């Protein structure tokens, strides 16, 4: 009886860890030449989803810090997703609008 309770507690703990670490999706809206919200903090393992809510304008969410090439534009109705597996601070920009509209954002990933 005592032993099965311990097994149950361990199982609950493991199950909760999985939910907290891996399955969350946080959404950032690209609209009016802004990322909304511009700054977010998420746990390691979280997926961030960028949604384009413009009528006509495309954008990008370019993580130069990750060694990526620019040019992955997403159009109204499109999404882009990225899962963050390491803690850190990740700055990104919309490559075509970083100068003209200061269109940029940051993702803080914490343990």
State the residues that interact with Cu ion by CB under 5 A: 59, 94, 97, 103
- Comparing CB distances to Cu ion, the nearer of 44 and 74 is 74
- DSSP assignments along 47-88, one per residue: EEEEEE--SS--B--B-GGGTPPS---B-TT-EEEEE--S-E
Phi, psi of 104 (to 5 degrees): -150, 165
Min dist CB 29 to Cu ion, Å, is: 12
Token pair 């390491």 in the structure block, residue: 86
Whose Cβ is closer to Cu ion: residue 48's or residue 103's? 103
Q: What minimum distance in Å lies between the beta carbon of 12 and Cu ion?
A: 44
Q: Tell the smallest beta-carbon distance from residue 100 to Cu ion (Å).
A: 9
């Amino acid at each position: 009886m005592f032993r099965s309770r311990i097994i149950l507690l361990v199982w609950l703990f493991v199950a909760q860890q999985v939910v907290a670490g891996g399955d969350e999706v946080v959404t950032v809206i690209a609209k009016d030449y802004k990322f909304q919200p511009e700054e977010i903090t998420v746990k390691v393992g979280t997926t961030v989803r960028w949604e384009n809510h413009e009528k006509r304008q495309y954008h990008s969410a370019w993580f130069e810090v990750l060694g990526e090439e620019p040019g992955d534009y997403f159009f109204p109705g499109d999404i882009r997703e990225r899962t963050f597996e390491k803690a850190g601070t990740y700055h990104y920009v919309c490559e075509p609008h970083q100068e003209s509209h200061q269109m940029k954002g940051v993702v803080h990933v914490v343990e």
